[in-house]
A = this chain, B = another copy of it.
Amino acid sequence: MTHPRALLFDVFGTVVDWRSSVAREIERIAEQMGFAVNGHDFATAWRKRYQPAMAKIREGNRGFVPLDILHMENLRDVLAEFSIDCLSETEIDDLNHVWHRLDAWGDAVGGVNRLKSRHIVATCSNGNIALMVNLARHTGLNWDMVLGGEVAQAYKPEREAYLRSAAFLGLKPEECCMVAAHNEDLAAARSFGLQTAYVERRNEYVASGGEPRPASQDWEWVASDFIDLAAKMGC
């Protein structure tokens, strides 16, 4: 096994803390508008509709549409589920863009910068290009490139999402390493020939009462955060 030339990063949960950011935003809106909501429950309910929405596209029952659109469709459903009907169309659209301004985990920006010294660093997320570009500018993340879903026109864990991302960099799958906090993402990447790096993000689940999800396979790298990964990768 040769050292990878490119690191492909999962983003939601691995690089950014979507749950706290979404929770904070809906709670701020609720306070301003005078309704009650549990922010973590709202964030979890919104995110719960994420995989089923993409499943229709993966299964060929719908053409590819960018994640912003799926997020918007899901948001309307969640607002109805939570009986929140006081938001204008402009306010709903603005809330949908919360995914463009999530907070990064504390080690993410510094860790990616260190990892970039030795590797191409690119996103391989299901988030669309505009979302990823705005998120990088919001957080200060310095990607070499946004790849994944929209550029590949395929949603992870479809093989094309991984293999086209590698090919766009002019690299073989085994020259790339998928970096994620999620075992299922890494399992798919490994099955298509990529190297794998698991990064622990306990607070993605534990902070809202869920169970931790430790590494489930012998991934090539296992790290507690991006700084630890950088050290283990010799950066």
The verdict on A68 contacting B129 (CB below 8 Å), with A137-B144, A145-B146, A146-B145 known, is: no
CA distance A118 to B19 in the complex (A): 29
Instruction: Tell me the bound Cα distance from A145 to B128 in angstroms.
Output: 12
B170 A68 Cβ-Cβ under 8 A? yes
- Contact sample, A vs B, 26 pairs, CB 8 Å cutoff: A68-B170, A120-B133, A120-B137, A122-B133, A128-B168, A128-B170, A129-B145, A129-B151, A129-B168, A129-B169, A129-B170, A130-B168, A130-B169, A130-B170, A130-B171, A133-B144, A133-B145, A133-B169, A134-B170, A136-B144, A137-B144, A142-B142, A145-B145, A145-B146, A150-B168, A151-B151
Q: Shortest 10 CB-CB distances between A and B: which pairs?
A: A130-B170, A129-B168, A133-B145, A133-B144, A130-B169, A145-B146, A151-B151, A120-B133, A133-B169, A137-B144
List chain A positions with a Cβ less than 8 A from chain B.
Answer: 68, 120, 122, 128-130, 133-134, 136-137, 142, 144-146, 150-151, 168-171
